[in-house]
Amino acid sequence: MEWSEGMFHIHGLRPGEVVPTFELLMSHKHPSDREHVRALWTNLLRAGGQGALLHRVLDVHGRERRVFSAIQVEATPSGQVEHAHGFMVDVSQSLRIESQHAAAEAIEGAYANKAVIEQAKGIVMALQGVDAASAFQVLAARSQRANVKLHIVAEELVNAAGNNKAKEMLAGY
């Protein structure tokens, strides 16, 4: 097995520090990912072909890295493996940035919708004479029955209240 400088780096090693082997490669796979990686290699070494996998590597310092591996195995017509080659790319930073953006958007969305949900709860409380928890349950039940997001149900009720139609709308809940 031959490793590039980048492959050594992903594993927290310097080129020439160890002799790369399949066993060494597998020993650095995250325990939860090992069987998936082994299954991919097994299938490819059986008949050739190509495959790719997003998985985790634990480097020599115990740091977890998210990597994308692509493998191509060339076999003779009789099925004997002639050559296997591939590459591994550390995508940890990209996934971390993407996750941070997704989390920020989710939080922003939650806060953006909170105001309209609170308004709708107030409308339910005023018109039905219930507490905040019960008002939320009314909205949540409508959301589930209609298979519509809660904030949309809340917006519809707030808009209906603006048109003096909230009482009628709530009767349909």
- Tell me, yes or no, whether 76 and 112 share the same domain: no
- Express each pLDDT in 88-134 by its tens digit: 999 999 999 999 988 888 888 778 889 899 999 999 999 999 999 99
- Tell me, yes or no, whether 27 and 76 share the same domain: yes
Counts of helices then strands in the chain (DSSP H, E): 7, 3
Query: What interhelical angle do 132-146 and 92-128 show, nearest 10?
Result: 110
**Is 97 inside a domain boundary?**
no
- Tell me, yes or no, whether 15 and 85 share the same domain: yes
DSSP state of 31: T
Residue with tokens 């493996």, as numbered in its chain: 81
pTM above 0.85, yes or no: no
pLDDT value for 106:
82
**Is 41 inside a domain boundary?**
yes
- Average pLDDT for residues 57-81, to the nearest whole number? 93
- Tell me, yes or no, whether 123 and 78 share the same domain: no
Residue 47: pLDDT above 90? no
Last residue of a domain, one of 90, 118, 139: 90
pLDDT value for 68:
97
Last residue of a domain, one of 51, 69, 90: 90
- Tell me, yes or no, whether 57 and 117 share the same domain: no
**Is 23 inside a domain boundary?**
yes
DSSP state of 66: E
CATH code (residue 167): 1.10.10
How sure is the predictor about 135, in pLDDT bands with cuts at 50, 70 and 90? very high
Into how many domains does the chain fold? Answer: 2
**Is 98 inside a domain boundary?**
no
Token couple for 133: 């928890």
- Tell me, yes or no, whether 16 and 84 share the same domain: yes
Domain that holds residue 33: 5-90
Contact 67, 89 (CB under 8 A): yes
- Tell me, yes or no, whether 85 and 126 share the same domain: no
Contacts of 11 (CB under 8 A, 6+ apart): 28, 57, 59, 60
- Tell me, yes or no, whether 121 and 163 share the same domain: yes
pLDDT value for 154:
95
| Pairing relationship of beta strands 81-90 and 64-75 according to DSSP bridges | antiparallel
DSSP state of 79: S
- Tell me, yes or no, whether 66 and 133 share the same domain: no
Q: Which of 114, 109, 30 is nearest to 69 (CA)?
A: 30
**Is 24 inside a domain boundary?**
yes
Residue 36: pLDDT above 90? yes
